[in-house]
Structure 1
Amino acid sequence: MPSVTNARLIQVDALRGFALLGILSVNIWAFADPYYASISSNPAYTRSLDHGVRLLVALLFETKFYLLFSFLFGYSFTLQMAAAERAEAAFVPRMLRRQLALLALGLAHGALLYYGEILSTYALLGLVLLAARNLSPARARRWAIRLVVVACSTWMILGVLQGLAGEASSATNGDASDKLAAFSGSAWQTLQFHSLHLWETLPALWLLQGPSALAMFLFGYAAGRQHWLASPPAWKLQRLLKVTAPVGLFGALIYALAAAYAPGGGLETFAFGLGQLTAPLLTATYCLLMLALFNTPGGARLCTLLAPLGKMALSNYLLQSAVLGLLFTGYGAGWINQIEPWLLLPIAGVIFIGQMWLSARWLSRHPYGPFEWLLRAVTLLAWPSWRRSE
């Protein structure tokens, strides 16, 4: 198995590619469904199949895969540290440039393609991780656990207080109507919607996703410092899964039901806190299962197929937004609220398979994805090779 100090770990890339599938499976609903995250509000959900598919996505995908991506961000941070050490280069200036470039890309992505983007969150939280780069792995894990517990407990207490105050649901159809009109209209209307809603959405996303993402950064950092994916410890897989899977699924089920059928009130706030508290366990379940699968003959082939997708994860994340924009907004077909809900996951699967093929083809000729190349150029203050040498 390749050394963490000598080569990129294929498992990291493959896990990141797998995370892209989960992120796409969530984001497609944000483009295709104007009533996203509230099943009870959408008049198009008339069948049990529609409700079942939407609940499945909320149960298994929402709030899980950005955590996996966050864990891998923290893990890759340690690979960047090792790369700077090998090059005898100052690490802090490198990472400052990298994070600022990521922030610029994230804001541009949000204003142009998807107002719910997460790159700017990663860029800002990456600066926090940079400040904490000297933490020991054990201390990083303790801080991560405290962060999750405090943040999630706060949400759950707020939910109880909301319920006791008798606050009615604040969910309205106004935003859904605006989104439907913009995405069904012209490219200019779509652009206006994204650019205006970006600044309304970002503070909420930083508040909702920031604490959990930072905690997973710290977990990933601790794992990277101990080279878990380079030389995995002797995990007792079955024992771990007996804890992570049922507890994670329980919290996810409560969250999915509340978000779908009781949006905007104290119950949803409480369920969000509970879901965020248990989501890292379900994310860990996915990670453990995929690592175990990668160590089987068939799984090794899957690992090889997923790795190119994950190696150029930034480019693929941006490409997903572009493709979804062409399908569901005024940038292209404007199919928002026109596709049967049960078809959205198969469509996401087709897009993902296309990205797997395209990533492998691109990396056969280029050492980096296009946006990875750009980020690397800013990080190193040098022009990396664009094409692979013969």
Structure 2
Amino acid sequence: MMERRRFLSLAAATGAAGAVGMTAAGCDSGPGSDEVTLKLVAADYGDSGENSSEKYWKDLAASFTEKHPGVRVDVAVHSWSEVDRKVAEMVKAGEAPDLAQIGAYADYAAEGKLYKANELLSIPVQADFLTGLAEAGEVRRVQYGLPFVSSTRLLFYNKDLFAKAGLDPDDPPQSWKALKAAARKLKDAGVKYPYGLPLGREEAPAETLIWMLGGGGGYTDTVGNYTINSAANIDTFAWIRDNLVKPGLTGGKPGRIDRQTLFDAFSEGDVGMLNGHPTLMQQADRGKISYGTGRIPGKGGPSEATLGVADWMMAFKQNGHRLECRKFLDYVYREKNHYAFADRYDLMPVTTSATERMRGDRRHKELWRFLDQLPDAEFYPAGKVSWAGTSADIKKNIGKAVEPGGDPAAVLGAIQRSAESEERSE
């Protein structure tokens, strides 16, 4: 299991891509054919049909098949709010995809459904992974999850809205107290979302951990035990409820607001502040938003740690296509192909070769600040078999903790008990 840890030699990015599932009977292209069709399910990193991840995957699949005529790759891309559930439903129905690029792998690994990393990658490709991320892909010291992209978070703020509200556009808030004061002024200036708080299904686990870290808490302790209902976490969500949600500084009910909704609103000039990953820079630039970034505010000053998110690639055993998966994954992680995805979505690579290339590419100078945060980033406990279910529980229920009549102790306590129950049932 992956313990809550800080990765000290890391430079990777967040993101993901999605694909489709298949029945075992659908493996071949037709009677008498030796051609194998791999089914890939991936998450969408785009914010519109024009820049959907589907184009990247289909172009990559086509170029792969051109070089490997006996292997085709069918791709299905789903939104982040749907992709994990889609894959879970396919696996439950006995129709696991060959490959999935999603948010959690440990429960599938524990059930013996996944190939090990050393069964799927050539030695040079496996050795190219950043060490911390490779370790984060382990379950009981065996790597099953292949990191795909990763990211950290910064506070984004709209400089024009700051100026309109009488705030210094070059001085973002660095503490919760300052965040509340700035949000109050933004609201008084008529800003729709003074602080964007996405606790809906798409972003809830990430936004939750950001705030927990800022309050001195987290999902787990240093030895990997869940601490979801710790005193620090309960105090954090009580503060959010009383200081942001009750006064109407979030522009709506956080439990019903998704990340992409707020990213779209930020790019339309309707959000004063929100936590964002690198992809938001592209979207804000297209919207011609004058924005700045700053460290995530914490309880008494800048948060000592920031969220790091890794998305995972995995290969299921069900259809018996290990060798074909190996060929395709070696192609996916070639420096040129991996960098192309990170470059397209302003995400951070997970390999040493692609990271070094990004460090040397001044077009991505704005990304270097995200890369610099990785040594202190805190990642989800993705190596815990119970994490997938716990993450789903957080998505469903965490918004209730900050409703005006919400009870953070009760909500976090219920999530904690459920997580511990899943741990005991492993």
Which bin holds the TM-score, normalised by the shorter protein?
under 0.3
Q: How high is the TM-score relative to the length of structure 1?
A: 0.25
Name whichever structure is richer in strand by fraction.
2
- Does 1 or 2 have the higher relative contact order (CA < 8 Å, sep 6+)? 1
Compare the two structures and name the one with the higher helix fraction: 1
Q: TM-score, normalised by structure 2?
A: 0.24
